[in-house]
Amino acid sequence: MKTWLAERGVHYLFLLFSAALGVAVAVVSVWADGATGADKQRWALIAGVAACGVVLITHFEKRFAEDGEERAKRLASDTNTEIAKLYTNTLGPLSNKLKDLAVLYADEARVPAPLLPQTVVDLDDKRRQILDQVLAGAVDLTAPPVQPDFLPRGRCSFYRYDPATGDFNLEGTYPGYRPPRPVIDPVGAAHMKNEILGGGGKPFRIDGKLVTQSYLIPEGSGYEAVIAVPVIHGTEEIGVLSVDAPRFADLVDRHVPLMEALADILAAAYALK
């Protein structure tokens, strides 16, 4: 109740005063009709004061609404800044350390004996759980669901790279009701290999400015924007993690380090095998 009064109480108080003064103007106008001399002047003065009150209250209400909008913009800006700090100062470095630890273990401390079949199954199951969470998390943090149906607007996919064939095969996608192509065509695969995985890896983005269209989202797919990042551990090129969004404005600069951090977590999961 206190929160409601703090947020909406002043607004409704303004409306009440405005309505009361509006009624006063109407009533005074009726009473002044037929009056003469000093009485008519007095009624006219009262009506003028009431009308000025309506104008002032309307002005204050508009200013109050503008101040609320400005506060909301500042809050959104501060929130975006905090999220960017989270990606840059916390999630990114932490995912890098996790990846380095997993790679070190995979290269130097692997158990010499072959893993038991059940252990392999368990590892695959845990890895799948991490992949599913990475895919869903990327969508929730970049293009989250909106009213009224709350269906995910974005789509995140992971393509596993096969060095023997040069193919990129779809290993996971979220949400599942709008899956991308199961295999990237040869031209797109060459681009993914050379421009995203090659040279130690680098992110690729369709932002509507420098790049407007790509093999990653064919025309008619319902998506415009893309951020694709490499998934690499050590020298092994594992694949490409990409998120698609309906509008270019949905994906912004701060989402690039987020996707890179998620890719590092995925790389750590695939390093342990």
Average confidence score pLDDT of the chain: 75
Strands of 155-162's sheet, edge to edge?
167-174, 155-162, 236-245, 225-233, 204-206
Between the CA of residue 183 and those of 67, 95, 170, 171, what are the distances in Å? 52, 28, 6, 10
Q: What pLDDT is stored for residue 64 in this prediction?
A: 60
Given a cut of 90, whether residue 83 has pLDDT beyond it is no
Q: What is the CATH number of domain 111-271?
A: 3.30.450.40
Most confident of 33-47, 107-121, 222-236: 222-236
Q: What pLDDT is stored for residue 5 in this prediction?
A: 43
Given a cut of 60, whether residue 62 has pLDDT beyond it is yes
Least confident of 28-37, 82-91, 182-191: 28-37
pLDDT confidence of 188, banded at 50, 70, 90? confident
Q: What pLDDT is stored for residue 208 in this prediction?
A: 82
For the chain, domain boundaries: 2-73, 111-271
DSSP 58: H
Q: What pLDDT is stored for residue 127 in this prediction?
A: 87
C-alpha–C-alpha distance, residues 65 and 57, integer Å: 12
Given a cut of 70, whether residue 123 has pLDDT beyond it is yes
Q: What pLDDT is stored for residue 29 in this prediction?
A: 56
Q: What pLDDT is stored for residue 146 in this prediction?
A: 77
Given a cut of 50, whether residue 13 has pLDDT beyond it is yes
pLDDT confidence of 194, banded at 50, 70, 90? very high
Better-scored residue on pLDDT, 89 or 253: 253
Given a cut of 90, whether residue 161 has pLDDT beyond it is yes
Burial grade of 123 (CB within 10 A; 0-12, 13-18, 19 or more):
middle
Q: What pLDDT is stored for residue 141 in this prediction?
A: 85
What torsion, rounded to 10 degrees, do the Cα atoms 92, 190, 167, 214 define? 70
Given a cut of 70, whether residue 55 has pLDDT beyond it is no
Contact 229, 97 (CB under 8 A): no
Better-scored residue on pLDDT, 159 or 249: 159
